[in-house]
Amino acid sequence: MTKKAKSDEEKNIHSKVSTEGSSKESSKEIPIGDEDGESMDASIERQDASIEKQDASAEKLKEAEAKAAAYLDQLQRVQAEFSNYRKRMDRERQSLKDWLHGQMVLELLPVLDDLDRLVQSQENQNGIDQTGIKQKAIDTEVVRLIQQKFQKILKDRGLQEIESIGHLFDPDLHEAVGVEHTDEEKAGRVLEEWEKGYKIGEKLLRPSRVKVGKFEGKAGDEST
């Protein structure tokens, strides 16, 4: 056999071996089949599991937000109740303070009444001789000074005298202890004040005891 023929035969053998090797390797490749399908299913399951976890987390977040809103609402209610309680206690404390203050002033009003009567009686008295008149004038002035000083002390503590004479009768401020027949113009008005009334702020300590005018018609009307 010649060298050329021998060389051609070796090439044919090599080519055949290569073809068989390639064919075997091809047969060893993993076909697209169940394994790839299982891999896709596993991926889908993982995605589903991830979505479920996200949904669960979102649900927990909503629950936490709802609880937080409930706690905040409860806290705001407690704060509002405490604020109202504090305001109520402040009002009650101030009311008690005003009441005690009013009671103290009320107990001092008889002293003020006595000073008023004393000054009025001294001014209405007439002395017999010049010495007596001079002495009484001095006493009256001293009493008037004491009266004014005492009035100032009480006014500084909120005492207000109720105006009565000439004003319309007010049952919230006046106590009618007498009635006098008058003309139509003075009807329903205070004619005399027998005892002064006082208040502190809007709180009435004592009503004014007064005489009120009453109109019953003209004389000609009464005779008919």
Does residue 113 form part of some domain?
A: yes
Please tell me the pTM assigned to this model: 0.50
How many domains are contained in the chain?
Answer: 2
Same-domain pairing of 152 and 186: no
99 and 131: one domain?
Answer: yes
Pick the closest to residue 149 from 115, 192, 99 (CA basis): 115
- CATH value at residue 178: 2.30.22.10
Enclosing H/E stretch for 3: helix 3-28
Q: What is the pLDDT of residue 92?
A: 81
Q: Is the pLDDT of residue 23 over 70?
A: no
Residues 174 and 144 in one domain: no
Whole-number pLDDT of residue 97? 75
Structure tokens at 72: 């905040």
Strands 208-214 and 174-181: parallel
- For 87-91, 126-130, 189-193, 202-206, which range has the lowest pLDDT when averaged over its residues? 126-130
Q: Look at residue 153 and tell me whether its pLDDT is greater than 80.
A: yes
Token output for 29: 């490749």
Whether 26 is covered by a domain: the verdict is: no
φ/ψ (deg, to 5) at 169: -65, 130
Range of the domain at 111: 93-157
State how far Cα 71 lies from the chain centre. Answer: 22
Q: Are residues 137 and 192 in the same domain?
A: no
CA distance 92 to 98: 10
Which tokens belong to 118? Answer: 């004393």
Looking at the chain, the whole-number percentage of residues with pLDDT higher than 70 is 71
- Does residue 120 sit in the same domain as residue 149? yes
